[in-house]
Structures are given as C-alpha cells and as structure tokens.
C-alpha cells in the first residue's frame, strides 16, 4: 500500500484547522471578552502559518501571519476584540481556503484588499486605555529588570514521530535569555527496550529573560495540547544592565539530573492519561468496504436459501453462524458510516452570521439534537438543501427588527435547526418565528404561473407544497438571497432522491416549520419482500405499519372506490397488480400492506407477503432515472432482481387517487 501524500494530509489537517478557527471566531461574537476563544483562534492561526510554511504554502503562511499578528495584539491587550475585527478575519479565513486549494493562483489583489480591511478593523478598534497602561508598565519593568522563570516540561513519547524536535524547543528558550537546562533521564528504559523514535526525557529549564509568560508559552504552542508543561515565576529579579545573555553560538548547558531530583516531572509524565487513538480513513475506503459487506450479505442470503433446501444439519449450522456474523459485520459497518448531524449544523453558524450582516436582521441560530447520527452520504447530500431552507427562512420568514417590534416580537429573530430519530428515519426540522407563509400570495403566484387553475380547491398542505415547484417564488424583487425561483425545487428533488419526504407547516404571524424525513442509511435496509404477479418487490420495513388480508369479496366490494376501513378511518389503497400491469389474475387471498410517511397512509395490495429481507440497495441505471415508482433494486438469494418500491411516490399517488375519487363523488 502506498504511503499517503504529505501535501494531501496537510490539506486535510489545514481544512480542520480552518473549521476550528471559524468556530472560535463565531463563538467569540457571542462574548468578545472570552480570553479562551481569543487564545484558541490565535493558536489555530499560528499552527496554520507554521504548517503552511513547512509544506511550501508560502502565500498561505504570509497571509495568515497578518491575521495572527492582529490576534496576537488582542491576546496581549493592545487592542480589544470587536465585531468588525472578527468579521475581517472571517473574510480572510475564506481567502485562506482559496490559498490552500490553489496556492499558485493569482491572489494578490484579493489578499491586498482583505489585508487593508483587516488593518482598518485593527485601527478602528484602537487600544483600550487600561491595556495601554498595563502594556507601558510591563514594558518599563522589562526595560530595567530580568525575571527568572522555572519551566518544567515533558513531551509525549511519539512527539518526534509527529515532527516535533525537542532541541528546537530548547533553542527557542535559549533565544529568550540566559537559561540553564537540566535533563531528567529517570524514565529512560534499558537499552534493549529503547525505541529511538520515542522520547523518554523530561526537562527543567531555569530562564532569566525580559520576556513575559506569553512569549514562553509561544515556544510550545504547536504541542501545548499534548504535553505536560509547568511555568513558574521564581520571583528573582536582576537589573538588566548586569545580566549576562548567552550568545547565540554558545552551546546549551545540559546537566543530567539526579534520579530523584525531578521525580515530580517524571511522575506527571507517567500519570498522564493516554489520549484516545483515532484513525483517519478516507471516505472512499469506507464506501468500498460497504460494497464488500453488501456482497457478503447477498452471498449469505444465497447460502441461507441453499441450506434451507438441504437436509444436512452441518450445513444449516454453518449457514446460521455465517448469518449471525454477517449481521454483526453489517451493524458494525453501519456504525462506522454514521456521523452526528453536528458536523452538518455547524456549517450554518457562519451562514447565519453573514446573512445577519447582509440583511441587517438580528438572528439567533439555535441547534438541537446535534448528537443524532445519520449515514455520511445523507450528511453530504443534505448540505445544499439545508442552505436553501435556512436562507429562505431568513429572507422570506424573518422580519426586520423594526417590523418585529411593531408586531410585538423581540427584535432578534430565531432560526431553530433540530434533528431527532424516529424508527428507521431521522427528522431534520428548520423552524423560524417570522411572519409565516402568505397563502394568498402563494395562490396568486401559482395561478399566474399556470400551476393551479382559478377556483380549484386545494388543501392547506397542497397549497404550501407549491413553493417547491420549479421557478416558484413569491419574492417582490430579485436579491442576492432569493427571488429567482431556484432552490426550493432543488431541495425537493434532493430529498426525494434520498427516499425522503418534506412536511411543511406555517402559522401567519408566528412562523414556519419545514421537516425533512430522511432514512438513516442508504446502503443496507431491512425490507419486506412481497410478490405481485410473478415479480418480487421490496418495501422498506421502516415505512410498513401493518399487514391485512383482502378477501375476494372485499376486493369486489371496493371496486371503484379503492378504500379500506381501518379502525374507523378510511385508507386509500393501490392495486400494485394493476399499477405494474402484470397481466395475471389475483391470488384468492390478497394482502394489503399499509405504509406511511408521517401522517399520510396508503395501502398496497399484493398477492403474497414472503417475509423480511436484508436489502442491499443498488442504484438504478441512468436509463431508468425517470422511473419514479422504484428507488433502487436488490439481488435476492437465488440471483434474481427485486425492485425496491419508492414509498414517498406511492403515498403521493394514493393521496392523488383519493382526491380524484372524492372530487368525482
């Protein structure tokens, strides 16, 4: 197996650093005085700059240096953190992504404009009087006196493997002033057990310097989160004029320590808990492994079928064991592919921040159920639809602060992103407390566009679903956010491609809520295998409510109305034999499989219910992309193909048939 490309690894880690920086900046907007967030953003920028220079991304390192300098001034109290400064660094962070992706591109003009904006933000912030006094006092003290510090540290054993050079850290400390270094060798193992790639030393450094604690901490900024570090000021002060500074060319004095001298440091090193081991795996390898598990499930289904037709008890025993193991492997693989929706929701903090500044609206983003897990493919595909829905809520739903106050609402609007799991699907909801959907305007726009004939009666849900039609928009004018009628139809197509559905509710003056119901996984599902005529089909088990028997008498009695009575409620049903034009006679005792999506229910009439089936989903070919009745196919144990029914489409067809029957009646 080939070694990973270092540049590719750096790009991945740099992208994570940029996400951490963005998250820290957005957290800082809530509390500009949060020192921890200021330090976190500074460390992220410092690490990105150093790593970029190390891997040859000189333009990225040079640009990031200016942002780092700005936050270093904030960290030292020279300038306060302001919303303008945070916004300037957020814009600069977007440019860092471009420098990361295309390091050889022509970015000079954009870089210059962003740096000018950053300088204006820093100059506009100015230095607070208290900070200026503190800085002056500290500087005056530093001019006349040297302070003595005791620095004890030990690095993780794998530090050198990860690229950390202990001698370079000691050289940086020496550059700060006069230092005496003592090495603790008490944790060094015997020679036969020594691994030259590991570090077993600890160090105690006595440093006389005019610099403060922050400059000393900066030496360890790349490894601070993984090491044990203790910095103590001894209190000794020496006039600067009498200080003896170690020349740069003079070698560092390293004195072996007594075994008991630095026992505390060694104990701290031994007592440090081992960090959790995580392995970075490319998504393509997970997809490939999922394909192999799918093939194994198909082979296991074939083995089960053969064993069931054979009287050999040994073969049956092996078949049952393989079935158990393949089921456990499938469940394990599913867990590996699951990701918390927090990774999806976190992207919208920046979007809401930018839209708030662009529209002049005060917006609060609230996220709930971030620990809910969904298949990674679902996470990837839902990113764009959720962007459209959030932008739509902010532009069409939320009012301006003045309008909200006039309506008796708080000036700050709320957008709530939530997720929770129910059965085999996850429901992701986008809710706002804005003005709600103007149904009269939707109706007028639909009639003007020819989507609805004047005077035709529509249910509230049918009327609201019109906003997902291509080209539909109720915006009065085209803006950067909306007005072109593009976006909401993309949401519907994407959700339906994921075998999901969309529910929408709205209350005038109170707000709107859009709920996306998405399957937990798109790879392997539990299905109900049924027979219609000579063909076999799979119904996703998560959508099945119950199964009923439909006798010949009930079948004849329901001709022309296609309803069954189910606990005092009428449920429309579809005869799949007629829908699929099988050309066969119905079985004497047909079955009705009642399926549901949310509050809507439809019955499917089939000839036989064969049983449950682990379904490995295979996508349809491009030639069948317009066949909306089926969402995919699967291979059965005997090698034949069974089509997977698209539940959302069948429910919609049943509801349409119900509306037609009621209109005719």
**pLDDT at residue number 15:** 86
* 3-state secondary structure at position 445: helix
Taking only the tens place, the pLDDT of each residue in 602-654 is 888 898 898 888 777 777 777 776 777 887 888 887 778 888 888 777 777 76
**pLDDT at residue number 191:** 85
Cβ atoms < 10 Å from Cβ of 253: 11
Taking only the tens place, the pLDDT of each residue in 414-447 is 999 999 887 667 889 999 998 888 888 888 888 8
Beta-carbon contacts of residue 288 (< 8 Å; ≥ 6 apart) = none
pLDDT at residue 291 is higher than 50:
yes
**pLDDT at residue number 262:** 40
Mean pLDDT of 333-351: 84
74-88, 359-373, 505-519, 560-574: the lowest-pLDDT one: 560-574
Taking only the tens place, the pLDDT of each residue in 386-400 is 888 888 888 888 888
**pLDDT at residue number 130:** 36
b/e map 572-587, b = 16+ CB within 10 Å: bbbbbbeeeeeeeebb
**pLDDT at residue number 242:** 38
pLDDT at residue 275 is higher than 50:
no
- Contact between 21 and 107 under an 8 Å Cβ cutoff? The reply is no
Fold for the domain defined by 524-664: SH3 type barrels. (2.30.30)
What is the rounded CA–CA span in Å between residue 477 and residue 228?
59
Q: Which option is the CATH number for 140-269: 3.40.1350, 3.30.720, 3.30.70, 1.10.260?
A: 3.30.70
Taking only the tens place, the pLDDT of each residue in 6-64 is 788 788 888 888 888 888 888 888 888 888 888 888 888 888 887 887 788 888 888 88
What are the extents of the domains in the chain?
A: 6-127, 140-269, 341-519, 524-664
**pLDDT at residue number 430:** 92
What predicted TM-score, i.e. pTM, was given to this entire model?
0.62
pLDDT over 70 percentage in the chain: 82
Mean pLDDT of 536-553: 84
User: What is 6-127's CATH number?
Assistant: 1.20.120.160
User: Where is pLDDT greater, at 22 or 477?
Assistant: 22
User: What is 341-519's CATH number?
Assistant: 3.30.565.10
Tokens of 386: 């959720």
Torsion sign across C-alpha atoms 68, 71, 77, 79? positive
Mean per-residue pLDDT over the chain, rounded: 78
**pLDDT at residue number 417:** 92
Taking only the tens place, the pLDDT of each residue in 98-149 is 888 888 888 888 888 888 888 888 887 654 433 333 433 344 344 446 888 8
19-23, 314-318, 470-474, 591-595: the lowest-pLDDT one: 470-474
């Amino acid at each position: 197996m080939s070694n990973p490309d270092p540049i590719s690894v750096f790009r991945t880690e740099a992208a994570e650093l940029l996400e951490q920086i963005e998250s820290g900046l957005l957290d800082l907007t809530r509390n500009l005085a949060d020192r921890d967030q200021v330090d976190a953003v500074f460390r992220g920028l410092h690490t990105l700059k150093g790593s970029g220079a190390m891997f040859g991304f000189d333009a990225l390192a040079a640009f990031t240096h200016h942002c780092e300098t700005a936050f270093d001034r904030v960290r030292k109290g020279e300038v306060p953190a302001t919303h303008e400064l945070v916004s300037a660094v957020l814009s600069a962070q977007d440019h860092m992504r471009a420098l990361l992706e295309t390091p050889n591109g022509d970015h000079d003009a954009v870089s210059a404009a962003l740096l000018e904006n950053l300088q204006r933000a820093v100059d506009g912030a100015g230095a607070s009087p208290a900070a200026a006094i503190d800085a002056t006092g500290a500087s005056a003290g530093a001019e006349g006196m040297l302070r003595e510090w005791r620095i004890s540290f030990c690095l993780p054993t794998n530090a050198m493997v990860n690229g950390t050079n202990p001698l370079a850290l000691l050289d940086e400390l020496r550059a700060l002033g006069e230092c005496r270094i003592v090495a603790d060798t008490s944790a060094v193992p015997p020679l036969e057990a020594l691994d030259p790639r590991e570090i077993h030393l600890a160090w105690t450094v006595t440093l006389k310097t005019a610099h403060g604690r922050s400059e000393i901490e900066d030496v360890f900024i790349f490894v601070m989160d993984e090491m044990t570090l203790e910095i103590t000021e001894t209190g000794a002060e020496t006039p600067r004029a009498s200080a003896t500074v170690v020349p740069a060319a003079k070698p560092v004095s390293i004195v072996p320590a007594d075994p008991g001298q630095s026992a505390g440091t060694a104990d701290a090193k031994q007592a440090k808990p081992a960090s959790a081991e995580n392995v970075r795996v490319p998504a393509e390898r997970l997809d490939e492994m999922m394909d192999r598990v799918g093939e194994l499930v198909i082979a296991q289904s074939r083995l089960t079928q053969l064993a069931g037709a054979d009287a050999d008890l040994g073969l049956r025993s092996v078949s049952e064991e393989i079935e158990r193991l393949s089921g456990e492997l499938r469940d394990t693989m599913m867990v590996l592919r699951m990701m918390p929706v927090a990774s999806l929701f976190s992207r919208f903090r920046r979007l809401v921040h930018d839209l708030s500044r662009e529209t002049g609206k005060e917006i609060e983003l609230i996220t709930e159920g971030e620990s809910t897990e969904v298949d990674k493919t679902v996470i990837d595909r839902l990113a764009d639809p959720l962007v459209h829905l959030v932008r739509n809520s902010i532009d069409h739903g939320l009012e301006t602060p003045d309008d909200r106050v006039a309506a008796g609402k708080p000036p700050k609007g709320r957008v709530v992103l939530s997720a929770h799991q129910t059965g085999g699907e996850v429901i992701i909801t986008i809710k706002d407390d804005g003005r709600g959907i103007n149904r009269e305007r939707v109706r007028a726009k639909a009639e003007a566009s020819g989507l609805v004939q004047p005077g035709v009666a529509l249910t509230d849900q049918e009327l609201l679903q019109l906003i997902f039609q291509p080209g539909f928009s109720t915006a009065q004018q085209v803006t950067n956010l909306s007005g072109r009628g593009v976006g909401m139809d993309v949401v519907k197509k994407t959700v339906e491609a994921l075998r999901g559905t969309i529910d929408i509710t709205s209350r005038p003056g109170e707000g709107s809520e859009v709920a996306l119901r998405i399957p937990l996984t798109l790879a392997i599902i539990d299905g109900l295998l049924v027979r219609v005529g000579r063909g076999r089909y799979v119904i996703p088990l998560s959508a099945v409510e119950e199964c009923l028997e439909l006798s010949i008498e009930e079948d004849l009695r329901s001709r022309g109305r296609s309803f069954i009575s189910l606990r005092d409620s009428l449920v429309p049903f579809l005869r799949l034999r007629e829908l699929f034009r099988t050309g066969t006679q119905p079985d004497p005792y047909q079955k009705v499989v009642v399926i549901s999506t949310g509050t809507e229910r439809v019955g499917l009439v089939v000839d036989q219910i064969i049983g449950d089936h682990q379904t490995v989903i295979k996508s349809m070919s491009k030639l069948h992309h317009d066949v909306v009745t089926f969402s995919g196919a699967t291979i059965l144990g005997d090698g034949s193909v069974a089509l997977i029914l698209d539940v959302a489409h069948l429910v919609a067809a049943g509801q349409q048939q119900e509306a037609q029957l009621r209109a005719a009646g």
